[in-house]
Amino acid sequence: MADGAVSENVVTTEILGDVALVCIDNPPVNASGHAVRVGLVEAMEALNGAGEAKAIAIWCAGRTFMAGADIREFGKPSKPPALPDVFNVIEQSAIPVVAVMHGTALGGGFELGLCCHARVAIAGSKVGLPEVLIGLLPGAGGTQRLPRLAGIPFALDMSLSGRQVPVEEAAEAGAIDRVVTGEPRAVALDMAKAVVAGDLPTRRTDQIEAAYDADLLAEAKAAAQAKNPNLVNPGKCVDAIAACNLPLPEGLKVERQCFLDCMETPQRAGLIHAFFGERAVSNIPEAKGPSRDVQTVGVIGGGTMGSGIATACLSAGLNVVLVEVAQEGLDRGVSTIGKNLDGAVKRGKMSAEKKDAALGRLTPALELDALAAVDLVIEAVFEKMEVKREIFGKLDAICKPGAVLASNTSYLDINEIAAATSRPADVLGLHFFSPAHVMRLLEIVQGAETAPEVLATGFALAKKLKKVGVLAQVCDGFIGNRILAHYGLCSGYLVLDGASPQQVDRALEDFGFAMGPYKVSDLAGLDIGWETRKRKAGDRDPAERYAGDIPDRICERGWFGRKTGRGYYLYDASAPVPNPEVAEIIDAVRAEKGLTPRAFSDQDIVDRYMTAMIVEAARVVEDGTAKRPLDVDMVFLFGYGFPRFRGGPLHYADTLGAAEIVARIERYAEDDPHYWQVPAILRRMAAEGTSFADLNKS
């Protein structure tokens, strides 16, 4: 269909006696794209023009009522009519209009309901205003009509949390007039008739006054800004709601301006990149195609990772056989799983009944033989190649034909592990992130001989566990840890050259990271990095500047971070404080190396750290370890605490542009030409004026 043409079938009207049904059918989620907007206006004008119908019911075909505006249209030139104008036409209809919502009526979808003269929902459905999650605010009347119907506190709650609210709760708040059971079209017909019969009262939202509370709004604005110092839209959202004491047309003008202000922000672009990226990572041929059925998972190792993986599988309804070499380790694993599940119950993520059922599906075992019948094995033992090869050799003899054999290694060579079996096609990497029952990232590592259906099984598991599965090829550290190893050096150099660990942490937390790199190291345990440095000492490139002297000295004192109560920070008070003895170590190392500390601004620190991350991320795309730049972005959003509003390291890189990044690298290379080298891909992009977003499309 030519651009701009209106496809007749996305909005259809049925006249049934003295009522009319207006149906939106725009799969997959009835987003209010241009055709839907035009179709709704035409339907309303035609019905009001004819004047035959005494009531109109709007309903949607498919799995859900409108799930909002079409997000793909954002950032592009807008095509009239705008959604707020469409909803004004509906509100002004002389014929009463009732909305019948099912599934997830979100954003513009819920706002469609709010502009109608009555709102009915199918039991079990949800409504929500998730615009805040994509850097926006309700921009089609939600900030004006919801306070009128359900009060300012409820409007603030819904629009600042973005949460999906059960319709039963929304009805209690006054946002929904009736909750019924039945099929959407049938309910739509019944409700239109109920309006005509006077059984379902109607009212125009624009004629309702909201109970106004200026103090509450001021508090809400301050709290929103304190909670999201890097975001513009939560504060703007409160500003819009604060206009609900104006006549509706004026309030809508304020809302529109606040909405357009947010639309122009990089945060909006970053959050929408994250929204679509999260879905695009599994929208690849490798994730589709037939996969093997997985009902029972064998987890080898009851340590932090093993018990976390087991918890994730049990929580998703799978059976788990947990294997450990010794009773003590097994008991510890089972108890950790129990604690993890208790935590989920406490956080309201799981019912106590579901927890008991999950524990009922756990089988502890002390022998690998217990894995003979499982569909999938996930090995999560100590990171030593010979240990893993020995286990996979045994699994090869024990496991049934067709069982998928996976390693949770975070950097070792999957091909070398697979070579320990006679069935390398059944082997892949499934790299979980700690805590594995919480962190949403799963790197799915494709070995040279991994069969397509085994890879598809990895993606099917990710979906089942509600993880974001990202395809990675084999290399040291796959996507995430390889890039971390590179920019980790940079944060080491920053401290060697003059910054303090605290300054580096503060600068990156202000940039948006949940936690700075030195706090993260203390949390993960400094001994892990120490082990890696010792393991790699033999094959370290002599030209590479060593950044490990300071952490080595800290570890030599037995300080491994939180787990020992001290590392870069001291952890005996309520909040961590800088460890003064680390400052002495830093001074000593600098003196030994003849380094004169220099001043770094916070922006300097962010620029160097992010440029280092972008350099290795670009190389990971260049050599195909990651399929597209967005795969790298999702790895960092879901596995490394990268600020979601910045969209990921390569989306962020596009806000700088390849030319600027190349210029920075060349500037930094004056001090260290070995570390700072321009990858060919970046030089080419700078020359051609292309972006990582372009690479995502290709």
Amino acid at 527: D
Cβ contacts of 370 within 8 Å, gap of 6 or more? 298, 321, 323, 363
Report residue 352 as tokens: 């106590």
Report residue 278 as tokens: 């999260």
User: Nearest distance from residue 468's CB to ligand T1G, in Å?
Assistant: 12
Q: Which is nearer to ligand T1G, 136 or 499 (by Cβ)?
A: 136
Listed ranges 67-75, 112-120, 457-465, 633-641: which one lies at the site for ligand T1G (CB under 6 A): 67-75
Report residue 18 as tokens: 């003295």
Distance of alpha carbon 613 from alpha carbon 650, whole angstroms: 9
From candidates 26, 93, 104, 205, binder to ligand T1G by CB under 6 A:
104
Beta strands per DSSP E along 145-294 = 164-166, 178-180
From candidates 131, 375, 379, 505, binder to ligand T1G by CB under 6 A:
131
Torsion angle of the four alpha carbons 610, 616, 620, 622, in this order, in degrees rounded to the nearest 10: 100
How long is the chain?
698
* Contact status: 444 vs ligand T1G (CB under 6 A): no
- Half-sphere CA count of 603, side-chain side, radius 13 A: 1
* Contact status: 167 vs ligand T1G (CB under 6 A): no
Q: What is the DSSP string of 330-358?
A: HHHHHHHHHHHHHHHHHTTSS-HHHHHHH
Q: Is 111 a catalytic residue?
A: yes
Q: Of 324, 395, 394, 397, nearest to 366 (Cα)?
A: 324
From candidates 113, 135, 138, 234, binder to ligand T1G by CB under 6 A:
138
From candidates 39, 96, 107, 235, binder to ligand T1G by CB under 6 A:
107
Listed ranges 13-21, 26-34, 552-560, 677-685: which one lies at the site for ligand T1G (CB under 6 A): 26-34
**Residue whose structure tokens are 């380790």:** 329
* Contact status: 235 vs ligand T1G (CB under 6 A): no
Is residue 55 exposed (0-12), middle (13-18) or buried (19+ Cβ within 10 Å)?
buried
Q: Which is nearer to ligand T1G, 163 or 674 (by Cβ)?
A: 163
**Conformational region of residue 298, where left means phi above 0, alpha means psi within -120 to 50, and beta covers everything else:** beta
Q: Which is nearer to ligand T1G, 131 or 206 (by Cβ)?
A: 131
DSSP, res 51:
-
Q: Which is nearer to ligand T1G, 619 or 628 (by Cβ)?
A: 628
SS3 570: strand
**386: part of which helix (H) or strand (E)?**
helix 385-398
Listed ranges 86-94, 101-109, 342-350, 367-375: which one lies at the site for ligand T1G (CB under 6 A): 101-109
Listed ranges 16-24, 61-69, 359-367, 441-449: which one lies at the site for ligand T1G (CB under 6 A): 61-69
From candidates 43, 96, 111, 408, binder to ligand T1G by CB under 6 A:
111
Report residue 74 as tokens: 């954002």
Dihedral sign for Cα 457, 461, 467, 473, please.
Answer: negative
User: Nearest distance from residue 659's CB to ligand T1G, in Å?
Assistant: 32
User: Nearest distance from residue 612's CB to ligand T1G, in Å?
Assistant: 32
User: Nearest distance from residue 127's CB to ligand T1G, in Å?
Assistant: 11
Site for ligand T1G in 277-316 (CB under 6 A): 279, 283
**23: part of which helix (H) or strand (E)?**
strand 19-24
Spatial contact of 143 and 158, defined as CB atoms under 8 Å apart: no
Tally Cβ neighbours within 10 Å of residue 518.
26
Instruction: Given the residues 45, 91, 131, 688, select the one marked as catalytic.
Output: 131
Listed ranges 24-32, 372-380, 525-533, 569-577: which one lies at the site for ligand T1G (CB under 6 A): 24-32
* Contact status: 272 vs ligand T1G (CB under 6 A): no
Q: Is 131 a catalytic residue?
A: yes
Q: Of 143, 361, 124, 346, nearest to 244 (Cα)?
A: 143
* Contact status: 108 vs ligand T1G (CB under 6 A): yes
User: How big is the chain by its Cα radius of gyration, in Å?
Assistant: 28
User: Nearest distance from residue 27's CB to ligand T1G, in Å?
Assistant: 8
* Contact status: 139 vs ligand T1G (CB under 6 A): yes
User: Nearest distance from residue 236's CB to ligand T1G, in Å?
Assistant: 13
From candidates 47, 112, 140, 341, binder to ligand T1G by CB under 6 A:
140
* Contact status: 70 vs ligand T1G (CB under 6 A): yes
* Contact status: 130 vs ligand T1G (CB under 6 A): yes
* Contact status: 31 vs ligand T1G (CB under 6 A): yes
Site for ligand T1G in 450-469 (CB under 6 A): none
Listed ranges 232-240, 275-283, 397-405, 475-483: which one lies at the site for ligand T1G (CB under 6 A): 275-283
Q: How far is CA 325 from CA 169, 365, 381, 391, 520, in A?
A: 50, 9, 10, 12, 31
Report residue 337 as tokens: 């799983």
From candidates 101, 136, 281, 318, binder to ligand T1G by CB under 6 A:
136
* Contact status: 271 vs ligand T1G (CB under 6 A): no
Q: How far is CA 557 from CA 421, 433, 528, 569, 666, in A?
A: 42, 28, 15, 14, 38
From candidates 39, 68, 429, 647, binder to ligand T1G by CB under 6 A:
68
Query: Would you give the end-to-end CA distance of the chain in angstroms?
Result: 23
Q: Which is nearer to ligand T1G, 69 or 471 (by Cβ)?
A: 69
Distance of alpha carbon 3 from alpha carbon 9, whole angstroms: 15
User: Nearest distance from residue 106's CB to ligand T1G, in Å?
Assistant: 4
Report residue 143 as tokens: 């900030």
Listed ranges 129-137, 180-188, 479-487, 544-552: which one lies at the site for ligand T1G (CB under 6 A): 129-137
Distance of alpha carbon 362 from alpha carbon 322, whole angstroms: 7
Q: Of 363, 375, 389, 346, nearest to 302 (Cα)?
A: 363
* Contact status: 333 vs ligand T1G (CB under 6 A): no
Q: Which is nearer to ligand T1G, 276 or 530 (by Cβ)?
A: 276
From candidates 71, 238, 258, 395, binder to ligand T1G by CB under 6 A:
71
Tally Cβ neighbours within 10 Å of residue 265.
17
Listed ranges 128-136, 241-249, 317-325, 636-644: which one lies at the site for ligand T1G (CB under 6 A): 128-136
Instruction: Given the residues 91, 111, 379, 616, select the one marked as catalytic.
Output: 111
Q: Of 587, 593, 485, nearest to 529 (Cα)?
A: 485
SS3 623: coil
Q: Which is nearer to ligand T1G, 42 or 85 (by Cβ)?
A: 85
Binding residues with ligand T1G: total (CB under 6 A)? 26
From candidates 28, 51, 229, 348, binder to ligand T1G by CB under 6 A:
28
Site for ligand T1G in 79-98 (CB under 6 A): 83
Listed ranges 99-107, 306-314, 482-490, 568-576: which one lies at the site for ligand T1G (CB under 6 A): 99-107
User: Nearest distance from residue 648's CB to ligand T1G, in Å?
Assistant: 17
Q: Of 279, 96, 341, 324, nearest to 204 (Cα)?
A: 96
User: Nearest distance from residue 311's CB to ligand T1G, in Å?
Assistant: 23
Would you report the helix, strand and coil content of the chain in percent, each value rounded to 5?
55, 10, 35
Active site residues: 111, 131
Would you tell me which residues interact with ligand T1G (CB under 6 A)?
A: 28-29, 31, 67-72, 83, 104, 106-108, 111, 130-131, 134, 136, 138-140, 142, 276, 279, 283
